[in-house]
Amino acid sequence: MLTVLDIGGTHVRWTQWSPQHGLGEVSCVSSPSFSRHARASAGELQAMLVRVMADAVPPGGVAGVSFGAALDHRTGTVYASAPLWGAHSRPFDLRTALRAARPDVRWHVVNDVTAALLHLASTPVAQGLRKIQLATISTGIACRTIDQRTGEIPVDGCGLQGEIGHLPAAVAIDGVPVELLCACGKPQHVAAFASGPGMARLGAVLRQRRGRDWDASVLGARLAGGEPFEAALVDALDAGDPLAGELLDAATKPVADVVRTALCLDPEIDLVALTGGVVTGLGERYRAALLAHLVREGLYLTSDREPGWVRDRVVVSEANGLVGAGLAALAAEAA
C-alpha cells in the first residue's frame, strides 16, 4: 500500500491506496494557506504544510503526492502556489524539505492536474484517444495535456505546462470591463474571474452594479440568508435565476476562450475534461455555460460545418488526484 496525498489551496487529503484495493478512508484537514494564516510568512506556511504531509505517512512508507502548484515536473521544485502562498514566487524545493522531515519515506511529487490526468488516462473513457486535455477549475486553475500514444506529458524549459490560470483574460458586465486581482497578485488573469474565489468576487461586482436586481434575485436572497456561495449559486441556477445565469456566463468565458484556442491550435485533442471543485459542484450546468460560449463564438468554419466536433469533446470529469498520485509513484518506483 502507498500513502497518497492531495494538496490543494483549501484542503489537504490523504489515504492509503493500491491498484488492487483502491483508496482507503480519506482523511482531510484545512490547508495552511495565507488566507487562513494571514500573519504567517510563506516560509512558515511551507513549514506547516511539510509537517502535515510528513505526519500522514507511516514509518518507512512510499508516498505519492498530488500538489496544487506550479512546479517543475522534472524535479518537484515548486515555483509558486497563489492559493497557498499568495503572490510569493520564490522556488521551494519541496522534495528536499519532505526528505529532511521524513528521511525514511520515499517521496514522489507531481502537480495535482498531472495526477488527475494520469488517473483519467487510465480509465476506459480515454482508451483509443490521441490526446487528452484535463482542466481543473477550483481554488486555482490549470490544465495538462497527455499524448496517449506515447504517455508523454510535455513540459517547457521550466518543467511547466498548462498554467492557464495565469493567462490574461477579459470579462465585462453590462458592457463595462471588470477589473479583478488574481491571488498571485497580478490583475486580469483567468483565475481572477473563473476560480472558485474569482466567481465569488465576480458576484460582488454584480451585486455592486445591479443593487436592486441583486436584492430581488434568488442568488441574492440565498446569500443574504447565509447560504454558502457555491450552494446558493446551484440553487439559483436550478431556479432559473437570470442573475445567477449571467454570473456563470461571465465566469466561464475565460475558460471557454482557452478551450477554443487549444482546439484551434491542436486538433489532435480528442477529449477536453473539466474537473475541480467548481466544475464538479455545478456539473452539467458548468459544461452547458461553457459550451454556450463555444456556440456563440466557436472555431472558424468547424463550428458551423461540424458543430458536434467541439461539443462532443468537452466533458465533465471527476478524475481523482489521489489515484493519479499513486499511479505516478508506482511508475517512479518501477523506473
How far apart (Å, rounded) are the C-alpha atoms in residues 316 and 335?
Answer: 32
The three cell numbers of residue 228 are: 454558502
pLDDT tens per residue, range 26-68: 999 999 998 889 899 999 999 999 999 999 999 999 999 999 8
Domain boundaries of the chain, sorted by first residue: 2-118+320-334, 124-316
pLDDT tens per residue, range 101-138: 999 999 999 999 999 999 999 999 999 999 999 999 99
| Structural contact between residues 143 and 133, judged by C-beta atoms closer than 8 angstroms | yes
How far apart (Å, rounded) are the C-alpha atoms in residues 154 and 279?
Answer: 25
Q: Flag whether pLDDT at 139 surpasses 90.
A: no
pLDDT at residue 81, rounded to an integer: 87
pLDDT at residue 87, rounded to an integer: 81
**Distinct helix (H) and strand (E) counts, the chain:** 15, 15
Could you please report the per-residue DSSP string of 104-170? TSEEEEEEHHHHHHHHHHTSGGGTT-SEEEEEEESSSEEEEEEETTTTB----TTS----GGGSB--
Global pTM reads 0.91
The sign of the torsion formed by the CA atoms of 146, 152, 154, 158 equals positive
Q: Flag whether pLDDT at 259 surpasses 90.
A: yes
| Structural contact between residues 278 and 286, judged by C-beta atoms closer than 8 angstroms | yes
pLDDT tens per residue, range 195-210: 999 999 999 999 999 9
Average pLDDT, the chain: 95
CATH label, 2-118+320-334, candidates 3.30.420.40, 3.40.50.2300, 3.40.50.450, 3.20.20.300: 3.30.420.40
Identical fold at 2-118+320-334 and 124-316?
yes
SS3 96: helix
175: closest CA among 257, 246, 254?
Answer: 246
How far apart (Å, rounded) are the C-alpha atoms in residues 7 and 56?
Answer: 12
Q: What is the mean pLDDT of residues 240-244?
A: 97
Tell me the fold of 124-316.
Nucleotidyltransferase; domain 5 (3.30.420)
| Structural contact between residues 203 and 247, judged by C-beta atoms closer than 8 angstroms | yes
